[in-house]
Amino acid sequence: MSDLRVTVQDTDLSAGAEGTLMAWTGTKRGEAYILSFYDRMMFQGRCFQVLNGTISAPEVGDVVITDTAAEMATSARLGTTIIPVYTNVNFNLAGGTLFESAGKSVGVIHTAGTAFVALPLKLGGNAAVSYSTVSSAGGVAVTAELATTTRRHWSWSQPITAGAWDTWYDWNPKVPPLLVGPACYYVQIAGTTTGPSYFSSYDFIELPSSLV
């Protein structure tokens, strides 16, 4: 019986051609290189980001959260699957008496809003197949929220006026939702009497549904 051997290499992590057999690659101590699922998706160019608001121009949320209105959304049509893996909401100014945010998903694609070309997290990578939109004041139209069809992945609220106090929310799911298209992930940001201004972004992985 022959020994199982790997090619030891510290400097070259290049990929072979599609469908070719490759030798295992390991360190010079013999440890195999094993990428995490997220690293593999990144190297394959399947990771993207959507953002709303820039450092000089924050967006303003809705008054108040409405079940059919969102500030950001990404939809996957039939044949495409998206996996939201991170969301950040940074409140720039929260003058209302109750400001809140939430991330949800449904099996219906969204409408309206300003088209946003999702940024490949692999610089120079392929464009996303799914489509994204952003808006202020709840300008992204999503299907009505129902307990039987809408999944709530995270939510955060502050019951008092925060003004310009540093306030933010980060979502790092242990088990990200697997949204097989047609499906939509959306973020809602709102407050009472006055919509909060904010910067927000989320990252997602995109795959052909045939691979999941």
Q: Model confidence over 2-11: pLDDT tens digits?
A: 455 555 555 5
DSSP label at residue 10:
S
In this predicted structure, what is the pLDDT of residue 133?
Answer: 95
Mean predicted confidence (pLDDT) in 187-197: 83
Average pLDDT in the chain = 84
> What pTM does this model have?
0.83
CA 136, CA 145: separation in Å to the nearest integer? 20
> Which one has a higher pLDDT value, 25 or 100?
100
**Mean of pLDDT values over 132-148:** 92
Average pLDDT over residues 7-24: 62
Token pair of 4 as six digits: 């199982």
Query: What average pLDDT does range 97-110 have in this prediction?
Result: 89
Residues 6 or more apart whose CB falls under 8 angstroms from that of 90 comprise: 167, 168, 198, 199, 200
How far is Cα 129 from Cα 131, in angstroms, rounded to an integer?
Answer: 6
Q: Which of the residue ranges 48-62, 75-89, 147-161 has the most confident prediction, judged by mean pLDDT? A: 75-89
State the pLDDT confidence band at 196, using cuts at 50, 70 and 90: confident
